[in-house]
Amino acid sequence: MLPDIVVASFLALSLALAFGRLVYESKKSRGGKTEAIHEEAEPAANEFLLVFGAVFALVFYAEMILYVILDLFGRQTILTDSFLQVRFPFDSLIQGFGILMMVLGYILVFWGLNALEYDKLTVWGPYRYVRHPQYLGYFVVFAGFFLTLLNLIAFLPPLTIPSEIRQANIEEEFLTRRFSNAYIRYQQDTGKFFPKIKSEHL
202 lies in a domain?
Answer: no
User: Residue 150 is part of which domain span?
Assistant: 4-189
Residue 34: CB atoms within 10 Å: 16
Establish if 200 belongs to a structural domain.
Answer: no
The pLDDT, as a whole number, for residue 40 is: 52
Q: Has residue 175 been placed in a domain?
A: yes
The per-residue pLDDT for range 64-99, each reduced to its tens digit, is 999 999 999 999 899 989 999 999 889 999 999 999
Q: What is the predicted pLDDT for the residue at 25?
A: 86
Distances (CA, A) of 132 to 32, 33, 82, 110, 154: 18, 15, 37, 12, 23
Residues 6-18: what's their mean pLDDT?
95
Number of domains in the chain: 1
Distance of CA 154 to CAs 2, 143, 174, Å? 16, 9, 33
User: The pTM is what?
Assistant: 0.88
